Amino acid sequence: MTAPGPPLALLAELTHRCPLGCPYCSNPMALERVRDEIDTATWQRVFDEAAALGALQIHFSGGEPMVRTDLVALVAHAHAAGLYTNLITSAVLLDERRLEPLKEAGLDHVQISLQDTVAENADRIAGYAGGHEKKLKAARLVRSAGLALTINAVMHRQNLAHLPQMIALALELGAGRLEVAQVQYYGWALKNRASLIPTRNEVSQAVAIVAEARERLKGRLVIDHVVPDYYAKRPKACMGGWARQFINLTPSGLALPCHAAQGIPQLRFDNVRDRPLAEIWQHSEAFERFRGTAWMAEPCRSCERREIDWGGCRCQAMAILGDAAATDPACALSAEHGRLLALAEAESAEAVPPAFVYRRYAKAEAEPTPASASASA
């Protein structure tokens, strides 16, 4: 196999701690504990290695990355290494006192997630009272500090009716970009799929709303739209292709080709504590396993789209079919496509969705820790 080109970005999951409990969280069901988080110096060494490898961006995420008391030092180091720095945050801990030093450290961009436009429903979905108001305040602070802002709107059957209001809110907050991210069903979202999945008709309406808004707001707001691929004919190029663009690091330092890869039990992951990032990117067994097209069976092997969508999503093939090397069942050419569609149609047709199973981190550990008590400090 030829050597891979450089990754585009490092997704640094600094911690799995988070005060919120979103039922669609992309973190794994088994959350990593604070005692296992890698320390400041190791993260900083990894940022240097990522820059040397040719990565251009770093995305600080979690959990809630702002619970790390060393976040400013991490941003400063990544910035000095020449990486474009993006903070992906719930923003409930982001106030003026925290924002100013991050800006000074060289933070380029902030992505804030919103759960809805109606505060009561937003707080219910997040499982965090008062969160929505805090988020709006933080978004305004980000803009008045002159930083670029993206709003991440995670949409599903329990908030999709407010899509026009969400677009208006992103505009009012001064965001340059809105990600209308309809839930993808991995991790916690897979567990809560029946509570979240919209009908095909609701998805079609959302597509039309986004198309109209894109046209109307050209030059003012960029809108990305990710639709639930259960209703698709062809799958998405998940992560831009396995091990082609991204390296995902868990809080304890495990290097994954995507955030859900630990759901594939046959894979073994290297840790940046033990192996340089360049070696992991080029030679790690988990990264090599589904890189390129050599692993593909039919119908992908002879399909003209095999280097466009790279066979879709390995984690979805694992979750639905129990075989990570199968064609993503979101593809209509998969013999199992009907099974996926039937699941979506049956669950979305339920008049009353089941109650959410919230993603919870032990409350005492979900808040920022004093420097002396944190493994990160």
Joined together, the tokens standing for residue 150 give 């993206």
Choose among ligand FES, ligand SF4, none what residue 315 binds, the Cβ cut-off being 5 to 8 Å by kind.
ligand FES
Residue 14 interacts with ligand FES (CB under 6 A): yes or no: no
Q: How far is the CB of 87 from ligand FES (least distance, A)?
A: 22
Q: How many other β-carbons are positioned within 10 Å of the β-carbon of residue 263?
A: 19
CA–CA separation, 266 and 225 (whole Å): 32
Of 164, 288, 306, 325, the one binding ligand SF4 by CB under 6 A: 306
Which residue, 142 or 300, has its beta carbon nearer to ligand SF4?
Answer: 300
CA 96 vs. chain centroid, Å, equals 25
Q: Is 347 in a helix, a strand, or coil?
A: helix
Helix H or strand E encompassing 207: helix 200-216
Joined together, the tokens standing for residue 324 give 């990570």
Of 106, 164, 299, 353, the one binding ligand SF4 by CB under 6 A: 299
Residue 112 interacts with ligand FES (CB under 6 A): yes or no: no
- Asked if residue 253 has a cis previous peptide bond (ω within 30° of 0), the answer is no
Could you tell me whether strands 148-155 and 109-114 are parallel, antiparallel, or unpaired per DSSP bridges? parallel
Sign of CA dihedral 331, 332, 334, 335: positive
Tokens 């075989």 appear where? 323
Choose among ligand FES, ligand SF4, none what residue 244 binds, the Cβ cut-off being 5 to 8 Å by kind.
none
Which residue, 294 or 351, has its beta carbon nearer to ligand SF4?
Answer: 294
Tell me which stretch binds ligand FES (CB under 6 A): 39-47, 192-200, 313-321, 361-369: 313-321
Choose among ligand FES, ligand SF4, none what residue 190 binds, the Cβ cut-off being 5 to 8 Å by kind.
none
CA–CA separation, 249 and 81 (whole Å): 18
CA distances (Å), 77 to each of 107, 124, 211, 236, 253, in order?
Answer: 11, 37, 40, 34, 17
Tokens 């196999």 appear where? 1
Which residue, 141 or 258, has its beta carbon nearer to ligand FES?
Answer: 258
Of 109, 157, 291, 314, the one binding ligand FES by CB under 6 A: 314
Residue 311 interacts with ligand SF4 (CB under 6 A): yes or no: yes
| Residue 216 burial (C-beta neighbours within 10 Å; 0-12, 13-18, 19+) | exposed
Residue 313 interacts with ligand FES (CB under 6 A): yes or no: yes
Of 234, 244, 295, 365, the one binding ligand SF4 by CB under 6 A: 234
| Interacting residues with ligand FES (CB under 6 A) | 186, 238-239, 242, 258, 260-261, 313-315
Binding site for ligand SF4 (CB under 6 A): 234-235, 299-300, 303, 305-306, 309, 311-312, 327-328, 331, 333
